Amino acid sequence: MPPRPFSIAVPDADLADLRERLARTRWPDPIPGTGWDYGADVGYMRELCDYWRTAYDWRKHEAALNQYPQFRCEVDGVDLHFWHVRGKGPDPVPLLLVHGWPGSIYEFHHLIGPLTDPAAHGGDAADSFDVVIPALPGYGFGGRTTDRGWGPARTADAFDHLMTGELGYARYATQGGDWGGIITARIGSAHGAHIIGCHLNFVVAPPPPTVPPEEQWAVDLRNKFQADETGYSNVHATKPMSLAIAQSDSPAGIAAWIVEKFRTWSDCGGDIESVYTKDQLITNIMFYWAPNSSAGSSRMYYESRRDNTFAGLRVDVPVAVADFPKEIYRAPRTWVEGHYNVQRWTEFPKGGHFAALEQPEALLGDIRAFFRALR
């Protein structure tokens, strides 16, 4: 089905219902002085939800989201929602940007202008891109997934079909983090004939049989993440609907689940608002709350355990890795080079898991530099 123009339009009744639910939130009693030690800080979440109810202006952000052309297009039975913004340079390169969880296409929103029209943002017009930013199937304002199997591998196939079969690009560039990095790697592996190059700010690579002492830090980091941070993914991967029922009913509940990860996984020194504004945090949450997409988003984890995404994975197209120091899952270059054709490796002094929001200028510069050599 050809792409159809689309705009985000949350009904007034849904916004009124949201405010009423926030006002009726029944909050738990934390142990005094524990802050974020047990997960979400109840005090901060009460403050954020009060702001959401009384001061946050969704209509302002909705209008900003709708300023760029967006569409829906049915691929493999799912109505994919995406921005498609044409570049204004002499020869724009098609660029697929892929988000992850608990993010959304909103992570890339403020990069659309600099990527598509660099000359208007202090850059070189020769670095322009045609930008395509799809919501993952079941996420955000796209159509629901109604059958099993929508893991990274099937999503990679759907996005490749969107780019080549529906939008008509013979070859294109890709970029992603979190699930977006995994899906981008899968696209590069399975559809390499269509790919100019893959830019990743999240890359998964297994350790070698024997890890040298100078790389033990990566094993320790991975073990610590497994011990301290994988409760969320185990729930998503085993009992996603049990959680989704609660999150579909409580805006405070979905906000706590998401905001705690933004604080923990970002390079913010424990102060989440040193990196993000309340409006940024809430606008991202609205991509889960307003379309009631919590169930579809968490199922990606369930399906990923069953779709063999990494079986024999080898990415032979050119790959760039943007390595941010507070990323939750990092691998030394030697590990990555065993599975990816690494042509560029950039280590940044600051930044974490949500690079497009945390360090937009750094990520933008690295994307431009990598693909400049491949145009």
CA separation (Å) from 232 to 112, 148, 204, 227, 235?
Answer: 31, 21, 19, 12, 5
Selected catalytic residue, list 56, 301, 302, 329: 301
Burial class of residue 158, CB neighbours in 10 A (0-12, 13-18, 19+): buried
CA 372 to centroid of chain Cα atoms: 24
Pairwise CA distance, residues 61 & 285, whole Å: 12
DSSP designation for 334 = H
CB 61 within 8 A of CB 283: yes
Selected catalytic residue, list 130, 178, 267, 323: 178
Selected catalytic residue, list 194, 232, 353, 366: 353
DSSP designation for 164 = I
DSSP result, 249-317? H-HHHHHHHHHHHHHHHSSSTT-GGGT--HHHHHHHHHHHHTTT-HHHHHHHHHHHTTS-TTTT--EEE
353 is catalytic: yes
Catalytic residue numbers, as ranges: 178, 301, 353
